[in-house]
Amino acid sequence: MPPSPPQTQASALKVTGVVCFYMVAALSMVMANKWVLNSTKAPLFFLTTQCCVAVILFLITDTLRVLPDRLSFDVKVGKGLIPMVGLSVLGLSFSNYTLKYVDASFYQVARGLVLPFTVCVSGFMLSTRPSLRILVSCAVVTAGFFIGVFLDGTPMSLVGVGFGVASSTITATHSVVIKQSLSIVNGSTILLSWYTNLLSILVLAPIVLLGEGSEVIKLLFGVNELVTKPGTLTPLQTFVYGSLLTGVVGFMMSLASLLSIKVTSPITHMVSSAVRGVAASLLGVWLFKDIITTGRASSIGVILFGSIYYTWVKHQESEAPKDRHKMADLESGEKPPPE
């Protein structure tokens, strides 16, 4: 029986709401991160604080029974998630350093090789052979990256680009490992996010103490407040407000990613990500006075086109076996099962 009009409308509203929620959370995360990283030299301490805020929010929502899964901590599970947590810490750290050294509008270009690296890592670790169209989409995305790096007329940080490439590599590996890690927590993305944030604090704390201790002391005890202009936020105030904001948004992102995957299709998810990338560039121009050159705009456009084409191809390839199965049923005279 076809669904009634009210149900269809509610479904459309639900998808729209989830997409908007995901985009707002993701954009807020990038802009708030850039805002704080412009005024601090302790990006790893900033990342640790974000994880702490997210863990506190997980505990509060678990106490209120808001989450679909009850939180727990099992040492055996924690040990099994060590590879994923290590990759997560590295990826987020490199991502923060990328955002620290490049403009917000160039961030998407600096991390533009995530898709090609993901296809390569998946092929190597999962022994899969990508189709020709998948390779073409990766070539388009790679071309977009090089257009942004070599044809962008504005000065850029090669260190930031290097961190972006490293972040892309780690993110690609993480996306493959996370599939294996889900089986350890019985497929629960909520528990996976909980363990990731909690264990990340344990990994980051000694690194921050040894590597950023002096910067943390300067930040907490207001050493730089004397050079702050009157009427503006001090570095500590910026750090505290930014940590609270990004910690909350990071927690929301855990829910947003889950909802986006469950409620929307892969194509909708990729299109929303593409729109988010364009919006991030425009917000970078507005909030941080970034400059969008023709080369940078072309780079973003090519990367988005290649990413959307990749998603469309993957969708077509996933639907092909279903169509062949239906045709085989029709040819044999069997009635295909209802969808």
Q: What is the pLDDT of residues 3-25, one digit of tens each?
A: 444 444 446 676 677 667 777 77
Closest alpha carbon to 77 in 171, 175, 188:
188
The phi, psi pair for 67, rounded to 5°, reads -75, 150
pLDDT at 114: 86
* N residues, the chain: 339
Regions in the chain scoring below 50 on pLDDT? 1-10, 338-339
The runs of H, that is alpha helices, within 183-224 are: 189-211, 213-220
Contact 131, 313 (CB under 8 A): yes
pLDDT at 256: 62
Burial class, 261, CB count within 10 angstroms (exposed 0-12 / middle 13-18 / buried 19+): middle
Q: How many CA atoms lie within 13 A of 104 on its CB side?
A: 27
Rounded Cα gap, residues 166 and 96, in angstroms = 12
Per residue in 152-188, pLDDT tens? 777 788 999 999 999 989 988 887 788 778 888 888 8
Rounded Cα gap, residues 259 and 280, in angstroms = 21
The phi, psi pair for 38, rounded to 5°, reads -70, -20
pLDDT at 165: 94
Contact 79, 247 (CB under 8 A): no
